[in-house]
Amino acid sequence: MAKTLVEKLWSRHCVADLGDGTDLLYIDRVLLHERTGSIALKGLAEQGRAVRHPDRAFVCMDHIVDTRPGRGDETLMPGGEAFIRETRAAANAAGIRIFDIGDNRQGIVHVVSPEQGIALPGLTLVCPDSHTCTQGGLGALAWGIGSSEAAHALATQTLVVRRPRQMRVRFEGELPAGVGAKDMILHLIAAHGAGGGSGYAIEFAGSAVSALSVEARMTLCNMAVEFAAWTGLCAPDAKTIAWVEGRPFAPKGMAWAQALADWADLVSDADAVFDKEIVVDCASIAPTITWGTSPQHALPITGVVPDPAHAADANAAEAQRRALTYMGLEPGQALAGLPIDGAFIGSCTNSRLSDLRAAAAILKGRHVAPGVRAICVPGSGLVKAAAEAEGLHQIFLDAGFEWRESGCSMCFFAGGESFGKGERVVTSTNRNFENRQGPGTRSHLASPVTVAASAIAGRIADARALAAQPVEA
Amino acid sequence: MEKFIRLTGIAAPLFRANVDTDAIIPSREMKRVSKEGLGEGMFADWRYSDVANRVENPDFVLNRAPFRQAPILLAGANFGCGSSREHAVWALKDYGVRCVIAPSFGAIFQGNCVRNGILPLVLPEPEVAALVAAAGPTPLTIDLAALTVHSADGRTLSFSIPPADREMLLEGLDAIGVTLKRLPAIKEFEGAYRTRHPWMFA
Ligand code: SF4
């Protein structure tokens, strides 16, 4: 019978059918971070249970770690050091490898895992972190779980999982210049709602996805969870294989040849049946930015803030009204031109080398507007090193950006650093929820190029206009 | 784990769509590597007008009679979306919430509820809206064995839940313990799996 890619991955990993639409799935890799992983390890230790395969688990320090230059274990988050130390101790006790502070492989778990070849096509991979779906960009079945489930995966190398419904989102046609994966996913969520993918595993496909770089596919998959999907993924292709080859934990020699043979089948069969299919015409996608407090509150950058009076129903109108109040906006206001206080480039959505290159191309020879605090946080120590080897850090620094050590940083507020109450920030992250980047901070989600262009203009700005302008000497 | 069989209590309306786990427990309220004591931080940004000094916001539903300490929440669609933090569920539990009724849930949150003895109860949106309209001092009764909700206005609604989740809640089972009973099957799978995909173990 014809199968979708997800169905193929599912049957490869199915240990037992538990009835009622749930299966016991075999889990190839478990990733942890200090925010939620410590408690999973601690819980297991308290129950006297062992980690079944410590060699297939990995810990990244990313969420709470400081990202200011010269950092150590101390963090601005009250009590943050305890998370770091307890995670380190628990991982060492369990014999699990850590990418720790001071190791240049350290970084955001969803950047580090693909970069190290821990995430690979065909694997099942879980992490107590909702953006684990990022790693689906390589053709892995990767999804976010809770801490208790992480303990379950560590103790049994399996999880009880409900079979998701199957969705395919086909991005067809050519993307206009200046439009990328971040715009694609924001556009999709705006069109179909933040709950649009609920209950589904989504395969992103179509000519525009094939044309994307592997890193951009991770950006696309990163926000599958903001679409409420169980996970998202892209079928591995020649680009994926080239990207994965030679990474430290990727198979080598004979094993590499076996892997290639094994991956050949990782595509949806031509006649596979999806429960739902969405087709997006890429020609219609503009640089997209959010105006409100849900990722579905997104518009073309040339758009105006909506009027709740025209909302689909009373609930949506109420949500829009709340969002307008929180964001300090009026119906009908143009998004482009809104003065900003902050600009942030980083997070598991957009902190890979290609993102930094794209932003640097806009920043080169220009300077951040007065009064704007601009920060760049590379996704991993290796991304940072690669960027520095190309001189990108100098472009960021010359433009007036802070250049940080890697970590989640100001993607979310843990009680430490924030842009501040009422500050308007254009950010390459994935969540614009109330207080996500700090109490009262107003987040506008956008691509790294939109963030860079806005930082320079001091207002929400369309990078396409800037890209066309010659840089003043 | 604490069993969930039958629950009678006040249901507090918090009928907003897409309430995310950052709202249920803000990051900065997750101060310790522990599941305990998180109830105080639950909905902190909505519940307190001055979070640092814990000054209550009198407009927030759980600060008003009769909804204070309500063990049941009536929530909007996609409740518990966003971050995977299980702290959201531990905070609800610590506060005393044992059941959330909503048209749909964030998937990770829903699984976390079941693992912590909280019933994520799905009802169609109009039925949740009717419960919200009738919310007040009359308690609801939720019977997980019979799969019914007896509403404040005297109606009986039925609901469904995956049997495995129901069993886990009714029996208060430990999920890891249940799976470890299948260890022989897991080991057998592992052997065959290794033969099929040797590159993974090279
Ligand atoms: S970068 Fe942001 S979204 Fe990504 S894992 Fe870290 S906190 Fe979560």
* Secondary structure (H, E, C), A83-114: HHHHHHHHHHHHCCEEECCCCCCCECHHHHHH
Residue B111: list chain A partners with CB under 8 A. Answer: 145-146, 149
To the nearest whole Å, the CA of B81 is away from the closest chain A CA by 7
Residue A151: list chain B partners with CB under 8 A. Answer: 176
In this prediction, residue A473 carries a pLDDT of 44
- Report the separation in Å between the CA atom of B193 and the middle of ligand 1, taken as the mean of its atom positions: 33
Nearest to A452 by CA among A416, A389, A398: A398
The DSSP code for A472 is: P
Per DSSP (E only), the strands in chain B are: 6-9, 11-14, 48-50, 55-56, 72-75, 99-102, 119-122, 140-143, 148-150, 156-158
Mutate to test the interface with A, among B21, B28, B115, B194 (most CBs of A within 10 A): B28
Nearest to A185 by CA among A212, A166, A146: A212
Mutate which of A108, A145, A380, A409 for ligand 1? The one with the most ligand atoms within 8 Å of its CB, which is: A108
Provide the pairing of β-strand B140-143 with B148-150: antiparallel
- Report the separation in Å between the CA atom of B184 and the middle of ligand 1, taken as the mean of its atom positions: 37
| B40-49 pLDDT tens trace | 999 999 999 9
- Averaged confidence pLDDT in chain B: 94
Quick check: A155 contacting B, CB < 8 Å?
yes
CA B129: distance to chain centroid? 19
Q: Do A421 and A435 touch, CB atoms closer than 8 A?
A: no
Residues in chain A: 473
CA A387: distance to chain centroid? 19
Q: Do A101 and A34 touch, CB atoms closer than 8 A?
A: no
Q: Which two tokens stand for residue A225?
A: 């969870």
Atom nearest to A110 CA in ligand 1: 5
Do the chains contact at B199 and A259, CB–CB below 8 Å?
A: yes
pLDDT value at A359 more than 80: yes
pLDDT value at A428 more than 50: yes
Mean pLDDT of all residues in A225-230: 96
In this prediction, residue A414 carries a pLDDT of 81
Residue B163: list chain A partners with CB under 8 A. Answer: 19-20
Nearest to B11 by CA among B138, B127, B110: B138
| A316-358 pLDDT tens trace | 899 999 999 999 999 999 999 999 999 999 999 999 999 999 9
Mean pLDDT of all residues in B52-75: 96
Helix orientation angle between A353-363 and A214-222, rounded to the nearest 10 degrees: 100
To the nearest whole Å, the CA of A154 is away from the closest chain B CA by 10
Do the chains contact at A22 and B28, CB–CB below 8 Å?
A: no
pLDDT value at B175 more than 80: yes
Atom nearest to A62 CA in ligand 1: 6
Which residue in this structure is represented by tokens 């019977």?
A: B143
* From B45, B86, B115, residue closest to A434, measured CB to CB: B45
| A13-41 pLDDT tens trace | 999 999 889 999 999 999 999 988 888 99
Mean pLDDT of all residues in A428-432: 98
User: What does the alpha-carbon distance between residue A156 and residue A147 come to, in Å, rounded to a whole number?
Assistant: 14
Mutate which of A348, A355, A377 for ligand 1? The one with the most ligand atoms within 8 Å of its CB, which is: A348
| A238-261 pLDDT tens trace | 999 999 999 999 999 999 999 999
- Cα radius of gyration rounded to whole Å, chain B: 19
User: What does the alpha-carbon distance between residue A122 and residue A266 come to, in Å, rounded to a whole number?
Assistant: 7
Quick check: A82 contacting B, CB < 8 Å?
yes
* From A15, A28, A146, residue closest to B108, measured CB to CB: A146
User: What does the alpha-carbon distance between residue B139 and residue B151 come to, in Å, rounded to a whole number?
Assistant: 8
User: What does the alpha-carbon distance between residue A183 and residue A189 come to, in Å, rounded to a whole number?
Assistant: 10
User: Which uninterrupted H or E stretch holds A314?
Assistant: helix A314-327
Q: Which two tokens stand for residue B144?
A: 């997980």
Mean pLDDT of all residues in B153-173: 92
Pick the CATH number of B6-171 from 3.30.1490.190, 3.20.19.10, 3.40.50.10470, 3.60.150.10: 3.20.19.10
Q: Residue A470: CB partners within 8 Å, gap ≥ 6?
A: none
Confidence of residue B12 (pLDDT cuts 50, 70, 90): very high
Cα dihedral B106/B109/B113/B118 (nearest 10): -60
Mutate to test the interface with B, among A9, A53, A315, A411 (most CBs of B within 10 A): A315
Q: Residue A124: CB partners within 8 Å, gap ≥ 6?
A: A9, A13, A25, A26, A27, A28, A29, A140, A141, A142
Q: Do A470 and A181 touch, CB atoms closer than 8 A?
A: no
| B97-122 pLDDT tens trace | 999 999 999 988 999 999 999 999 99
Atom nearest to A346 CA in ligand 1: 1
- Which residue in chain B has the smallest CA separation from A162? B162
- Decide: helix, strand or coil at residue B27: helix
Q: Which value does ipTM take for this structure? A: 0.91
Strand pairing partners for A278? Answer: A169
Residue A432 neighbours by CB distance under 10 Å: 28
Q: How many helices (H) and strands (E) does chain B have?
A: 8, 10
Do the chains contact at B180 and A156, CB–CB below 8 Å?
A: yes
In this prediction, residue B164 carries a pLDDT of 85
User: What does the alpha-carbon distance between residue B156 and residue B151 come to, in Å, rounded to a whole number?
Assistant: 6
pLDDT value at A313 more than 90: no
Q: How many helices (H) and strands (E) does chain A have?
A: 16, 19
User: What does the alpha-carbon distance between residue A145 and residue B84 come to, in Å, rounded to a whole number?
Assistant: 6
User: What does the alpha-carbon distance between residue A295 and residue B78 come to, in Å, rounded to a whole number?
Assistant: 13
* From B16, B27, B76, residue closest to A415, measured CB to CB: B27
pLDDT value at B202 more than 80: no
Q: Which two tokens stand for residue A71?
A: 């950092």
- Averaged confidence pLDDT in chain A: 96
To the nearest whole Å, the CA of B139 is away from the closest chain A CA by 25
In this prediction, residue A95 carries a pLDDT of 96
Q: Do A109 and A129 touch, CB atoms closer than 8 A?
A: yes
User: What does the alpha-carbon distance between residue A253 and residue A459 come to, in Å, rounded to a whole number?
Assistant: 52
User: What does the alpha-carbon distance between residue A441 and residue A315 come to, in Å, rounded to a whole number?
Assistant: 24
Confidence of residue A472 (pLDDT cuts 50, 70, 90): low
Residue A155: list chain B partners with CB under 8 A. Answer: 176, 179-180
Residue B169 neighbours by CB distance under 10 Å: 26
User: What does the alpha-carbon distance between residue A354 and residue A142 come to, in Å, rounded to a whole number?
Assistant: 22
- Which residue in chain A has the smallest CA separation from B36? A39
Strand pairing partners for A126? Answer: A30, A143
Residue A434: list chain B partners with CB under 8 A. Answer: 22-23, 45
User: What does the alpha-carbon distance between residue A363 and residue A361 come to, in Å, rounded to a whole number?
Assistant: 6
- Cα radius of gyration rounded to whole Å, chain A: 21
Mean pLDDT of all residues in B87-91: 95
Do the chains contact at A79 and B115, CB–CB below 8 Å?
A: no
- Decide: helix, strand or coil at residue A378: coil
Do the chains contact at B176 and A319, CB–CB below 8 Å?
A: no
Share of chain B above pLDDT 70, in %: 100
CA pseudo-torsion sign A196, A114, A15, B121: negative
Q: Which two tokens stand for residue A473?
A: 């000497």
Strand pairing partners for A343? Answer: A374, A426
* From B22, B186, B193, residue closest to A433, measured CB to CB: B22
Q: Residue A136: CB partners within 8 Å, gap ≥ 6?
A: A142, A221, A224, A231, A232, A233, A234
Helix, strand, coil: what percent of chain A each, to 5? 40, 20, 45
Do the chains contact at A79 and B32, CB–CB below 8 Å?
A: yes
pTM value?
0.93
The structural domains of chain B, with segments of one domain joined by +, span 6-171, 172-202
Residues with CB under 6 A from ligand 1: A 62-63, 108, 110, 129, 131, 347-348, 408, 411-412, 429-430
Q: Do A27 and A66 touch, CB atoms closer than 8 A?
A: no
pLDDT value at A467 more than 80: no
User: What does the alpha-carbon distance between residue A452 and residue A356 come to, in Å, rounded to a whole number?
Assistant: 10
User: Which uninterrupted H or E stretch holds A232?
Assistant: strand A231-233
**3-state helix/strand/coil string of B51-108:** CCCCEECCCCHHHCCCCCCCCEEEECCCECECCCCCHHHHHHHHHCCCEEEECCECHH
- Decide: helix, strand or coil at residue B162: coil
B-facing residues of A in 409-438 (CB < 8 A) are 412-415, 431, 433-436
- Which residue in chain A has the smallest CA separation from B23? A434
- Read off the amino acid at residue A44: L
Q: How far is CA A150 from CA A125, A139, A156, A370, B166, in A?
A: 11, 21, 10, 46, 21
Nearest to B149 by CA among B165, B170, B131: B131
